[in-house]
């Protein structure tokens, strides 16, 4: 029977999975599969592994399978004839098998892809034909006519495709029921649900003054589970924010930040000019509109406009009145909704007292600046603080060239500056406010898959 006999694990049928390696070094593969869980899985009939020596399909008696590239260049390219012949030979054994080529041009391999490819192979009675490239790669006609998936096992260059192919074997075969002794271990590992695994500890409980966390020794399974979830979450956010952006689990487990406890204040005095002198800056219509729209988008409680000059405070109020109660309300109700968040105050102290009156306590003050200092907090860390506190927070933004030192000195937290990918560091205050709100409160990017992705 064509390696399609059923394996059973907890009553669920799984086909025997067939892996065929096409390589000029079959001895590398054969030595690897003699040990460990791979060897045991073969003996148990869960997987079948075989090697096809590419040189058996060489174009001459010298065993030639490569040639120099058309157009010139260094290195050698795997010829189309031996590659076609070897793949066609492998498909005689497993007609529905998917051909995988390991190349830097491919889609980056991850845990989700391992699951999807294995599921597809199981549903279609298929196996895997693993083309282990060498030299400078393979003739493009092989990719066009015989390869189903190009896979990149990491953004680095290796001397051949055997090691990436063996990594693919390890990553996929361990997902087959019965290959691992404990099926639960798969669900708790790194990259499942796009999360890193929690830290692990074993005996002794203390070594050179380094102690195992007490919760792991408590025997309280609910608390241990919570500790592990929290650590998994924190490590993913800190060490692999790229994974966090894909984590559905992270969305469901991250405590919702109470934005009703977050306010913004746009400070016009005391702020700095280009020379570093303290000045009073002017109110601008576009700042009020754009920052208010950002605040409404992220469900901020209040936007305070702080200005010591009465005539400019009145101007700000007239702008808001036009959109809240005048013709602007009829013309653009959405703008009215945003500008209704604005409250105009003469001094920062008035803002603090207003927040105390509405929330029952003074807020923690958070300052922003384009200037780098040693005492700033990252957005990931501060987002964690916002998610676990009921204390109101006030985020201050400075006009002109930024907040004066006397305001910065009031801060409980100073956020990291915003850095782009160039030396230019002159964002408008409204742009900075939008970026910072998104970093702190924006939902994680959806894990969209293109139609062609694996």
Q: Please tell me the predicted confidence (pLDDT) of residue 438.
A: 94
Q: What is the DSSP track for 173-211? A: HTTSTTTSS-THHHHTSTTGGG-PPPP---S-SEETTEE
Distance CA(444)–CA(433), nearest Å, equals 18
Report helix, strand or coil for 273.
coil
Q: What is the DSSP track for 32-94? A: HTTSHHHHHHHHTTSEEEEEEEGGGG-SSTT---EEPPTT--SS-EE-HHHHHHHHHHHHHH-
From 199, 346, 372, select the one nearest 268 (Cα to Cα): 346
User: For residue 258, is the peptide bond before it cis, meaning its omega torsion is within 30 degrees of 0?
Assistant: no
Q: Please tell me the predicted confidence (pLDDT) of residue 100.
A: 97
Sheet of 393-398, strands arranged across: 342-345, 302-306, 262-267, 393-398, 364-367, 413-414
- Which residues on adjacent β-strands are paired with residue 393? 262, 364
Asked whether the beta carbons of 454 and 107 are under 8 A apart, the reply is: yes
Q: Please tell me the predicted confidence (pLDDT) of residue 445.
A: 33
Asked whether the beta carbons of 392 and 262 are under 8 A apart, the reply is: yes
Q: Show the domains of the chain with their CATH numbers.
A: 6-173 (3.40.1280.10), 196-253 (1.10.1270.20), 259-441 (3.40.1280.10)
User: For residue 270, is the peptide bond before it cis, meaning its omega torsion is within 30 degrees of 0?
Assistant: yes
Asked whether the beta carbons of 4 and 45 are under 8 A apart, the reply is: no
- For residue 215, give both structure tokens: 């919760």
| Cα angle, residue 99 at apex, residues 95 and 101 outer, rounded to 5° | 165
Judge residue 400's burial from the number of C-beta atoms within 10 Å of its C-beta, 0-12 exposed, 13-18 middle, 19 or more buried.
Answer: buried
Asked whether the beta carbons of 173 and 122 are under 8 A apart, the reply is: no
CA 226 → CA 185, 223, 247, 250, 253, distances in Å?
Answer: 17, 5, 18, 14, 11
Q: Please tell me the predicted confidence (pLDDT) of residue 188.
A: 56
CA 150 → CA 61, 154, 409, 452, distances in Å?
Answer: 30, 12, 55, 12
CA 27 → CA 32, 34, 125, 128, distances in Å?
Answer: 9, 11, 28, 19
| Cα angle, residue 100 at apex, residues 24 and 236 outer, rounded to 5° | 115
Q: Please tell me the predicted confidence (pLDDT) of residue 4.
A: 35
CA 409 → CA 288, 306, 396, 403, distances in Å?
Answer: 25, 18, 12, 10
Residues 6+ positions from 373 with CB-CB distance below 8 Å: 414
Residues 6+ positions from 311 with CB-CB distance below 8 Å: none
| Cα angle, residue 140 at apex, residues 137 and 146 outer, rounded to 5° | 100
Distance CA(265)–CA(368), nearest Å, equals 11
- Which residues on adjacent β-strands are paired with residue 9? 12
Residue 140: CB atoms within 10 Å: 11
Which segments in the chain show pLDDT lower than 50? 1-12, 444-452
Q: Please tell me the predicted confidence (pLDDT) of residue 446.
A: 34
Asked whether the beta carbons of 371 and 417 are under 8 A apart, the reply is: yes
């Amino acid at each position: 029977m064509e390696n399609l006999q059923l394996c059973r694990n907890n009553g669920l049928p799984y086909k025997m999975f067939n892996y065929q390696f096409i390589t000029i070094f079959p001895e590398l593969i054969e030595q690897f599969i003699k040990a460990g869980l791979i060897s045991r899985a073969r003996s148990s009939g869960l997987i079948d592994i075989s090697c096809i020596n590419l040189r058996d399909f060489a174009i001459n008696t010298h065993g030639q399978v490569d040639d120099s590239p058309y157009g010139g260049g260094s290195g050698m390219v795997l010829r189309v004839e031996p590659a076609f012949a070897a793949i066609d030979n492998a498909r005689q054994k497993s007609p529905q098998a998917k051909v995988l080529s390991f190349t830097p041009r491919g889609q980056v391999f991850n845990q989700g892809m391992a699951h999807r490819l294995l599921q597809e192979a199981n549903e279609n009675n298929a196996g895997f034909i693993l083309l282990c490239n060498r030299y400078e790669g393979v003739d493009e006609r092989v990719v066009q006519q015989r390869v189903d998936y190009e896979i990149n096992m990491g953004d680095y260059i290796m001397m051949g495709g055997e090691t990436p192919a063996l990594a693919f074997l390890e990553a996929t075969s361990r997902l087959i029921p019965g290959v691992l002794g404990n099926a639960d271990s798969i669900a708790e590992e790194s990259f499942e649900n796009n999360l890193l695994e929690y830290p692990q500890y074993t005996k002794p409980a203390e070594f050179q003054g380094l102690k195992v966390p007490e919760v792991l020794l408590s025997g309280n399974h609910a608390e241990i589970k919570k500790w592990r979830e929290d650590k998994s979450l924190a490590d993913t956010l800190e060490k692999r924010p790229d994974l966090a952006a894909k984590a559905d689990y992270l969305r469901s487990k991250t405590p919702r930040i109470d934005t009703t406890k977050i306010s913004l204040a746009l400070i016009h005095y005391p702020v700095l000019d280009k020379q570093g002198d303290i000045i009073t800056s002017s109110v601008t219509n576009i700042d009020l509109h754009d920052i208010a729209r950002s605040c409404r988008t992220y469900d901020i409680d209040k936007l305070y406009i702080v200005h010591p000059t009465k005539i400019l405070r009145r101007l700000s109020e007239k702008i808001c009145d036009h959109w809240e109660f005048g013709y602007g309300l009829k013309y653009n109700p959405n703008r009215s909704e945003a500008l209704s968040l604005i409250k105009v105050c003469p001094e920062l102290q008035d803002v603090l007292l207003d927040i105390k009156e509405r929330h029952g306590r003074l807020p923690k003050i958070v300052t922003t600046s384009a200037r780098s200092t040693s005492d700033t907090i990252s957005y990931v860390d501060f987002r964690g603080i916002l998610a676990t506190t009921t204390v109101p927070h006030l985020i201050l933004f400075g006009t002109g060239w930024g907040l004066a030192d006397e305001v910065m000195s009031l801060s409980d937290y100073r956020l990291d500056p915003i850095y782009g990918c160039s030396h230019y560091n002159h964002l408008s205050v409204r742009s900075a406010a939008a970026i910072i709100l998104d970093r702190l409160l924006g939902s994680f990017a959806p894990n969209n898959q293109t139609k062609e992705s694996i």
